[in-house]
Amino acid sequence: MSHALQKSTKSKPLISAQRHWLNGLVCNHQKFWKKLGDFESKVLEFDIEPIKIDRPVYVCGLARSGSTVLLEFLASHRDFVSHKYSDFPFIFTPYLWRKLQKILMMKPSKPVERFHGDGIKVTSESPEAMEEVLWMHFFKGLHNLDTPERLKDTAALQRFFDFYLPHIKKLLFQSKAPRYLAKGNYNIARIDKIIAAVPDAKFIVPVRSPVSHVESLLRQHENFLTKTKGQKRAVKHLQRVGHFEFGADIRPIYLGQDDVYHSILDLFKSGEMVRGYARYWAYVYDYIYTQYVESPSVLCYRYEDFCDKSHEMLTDIADFSGVSYKPAALDMWAEYIQRPSYYKTNLKARDLKIIADETKQTAALWGYSS
């Protein structure tokens, strides 16, 4: 297991004992690794101090909205550096670990379909969301369900950005790329915080129609439950990387409105997943629309347009991100992007009604009719 959770078999665990031990070497001793990261920054201070963090791009939103393909498209541009699967668990020391990998001539793993079973193949060098490990370190209990208001600690925010901004500069310096790219769904709750620290940061938020989105979330939830059943190391791995969207330890993003947030939690706890995910969809996208749909720092687009008018949408995304692609590259990506065809709908009439009831008002804001 070199880069992602693999498909479960009776004879092979999702996370090997060796990998679990290696991950624990960092995750169980984060204070030490954070200090080592500070030391790394100090050693490289002369090199990274002049580097400007120029218009970093953040892909965020709700899982299953096409964000992985979007990340891969942007990461294919030579101007961007992003975290990779191979950066975990040594996320606190990105320069040292990437240099060591080169010295050891570590080769990328072979492409395999990722755990989601959605046809996307990844290697150890594929871009991936890894920032959450850092956020969780600086904000203890960040994802605890009983303490939803987590980012008001200004001192913790200052400590985080004191570490995080040099961290980005080290990735830029090591890769010789001029721009930083990150995927992190939970960053929709932190857009203002990131802009305060990096004023020219850009955020891209895909929106997907409520029926297909909720169904996709449901399928992945069941997929994660099934594949991680009896796999304690796999569940621990998901917790360590901050992946709480599906499975046994599902934890929704907190965006205020305590009554709505806690009602979503109650629905998840009671197993009412259709209504829970539908209400969650409305909760997230109502927040995005209200707070950021007119923000020049945020680009929102519909997933269906991304699939059906790929060339046009990819051009818009590239323009917003401040990069240009050769026509042949845009043509290739436009041909690759399409609506998923790997499953048929299994939603019943009562499920469709629940989704419509929960999402109708918010869906209308995004041009979706019930």
| Whether pLDDT at 2 is above 60 | no
**If pLDDT is split at 50, 70 and 90, which confidence band does 241 have?**
very high
pLDDT of 104 strictly over 90: no
- Could you read off the pLDDT of 35-56 as tens digits, one per residue? 999 999 999 999 999 999 999 9
The answer on pLDDT for 133 being more than 80 is: yes
pLDDT value of position 152:
84
Quick one: pLDDT at residue 305?
95
pLDDT at 148: 63
Residue 146 banded pLDDT, cuts 50, 70, 90: confident
Distance CA 370, CA 360 (A): 6
Q: How many CA atoms lie within 13 A of 31 on its CB side?
A: 1
Tokens read off for 233: 């190391």
138 confidence band (pLDDT: 50, 70, 90): very high
pLDDT in tens, 326-367: 999 999 999 999 887 655 668 899 999 999 999 999 999 999
Residue 120 has pLDDT above 90, yes or no: no
State the average pLDDT over residues 237-252.
92
Span 69-84, pLDDT tens digits = 999 999 999 999 999 9
**What is the side-by-side strand order in the sheet with 179-183?**
80-82, 179-183, 57-59, 202-207, 298-302
pLDDT for res 330: 94
Rounded CA-CA distance 367/302 in Å is: 9
pLDDT value, residue 1: 35
For the cut 70, the answer to whether the pLDDT of residue 258 exceeds it is yes
For the chain, give the percent of residues with pLDDT over 90: 76
Indicate if the pLDDT at residue 115 is higher than 90: no
Mean pLDDT of the chain: 91
Compute how many other C-beta atoms are within 10 angstroms of the C-beta atom of residue 119. Answer: 10
What average pLDDT does this structure show over 141-163?
86
- Which residues make beta-bridge pairs with 299? 204
Phi then psi dihedrals of residue 203, to 5 deg: -125, 135
Using pLDDT thresholds of 50, 70 and 90, give the confidence band for residue 114. low
The residue with greater pLDDT, 120 or 226, is 226
Under a CB-based contact definition with an 8 Å cutoff, are residues 187 and 34 in contact?
Answer: no
Quick one: CA torsion of 270, 271, 277, 283, rounded to 10 degrees?
0
Residue 187 pLDDT exceeds 60: yes
pLDDT 10s digits, 291-338: 999 999 999 999 999 999 999 999 999 999 999 999 999 999 999 998
Give the mean model confidence (pLDDT) for residues 117-145: 85
Nearest to residue 2, comparing CAs of 108, 105, 95?
A: 108
pTM for the model? 0.92
Please give the pLDDT value at position 71: 95
* 162 pLDDT more than 70: yes
Instruction: Give the DSSP letter of residue 338.
Output: -
What pLDDT is recorded for position 8?
A: 47
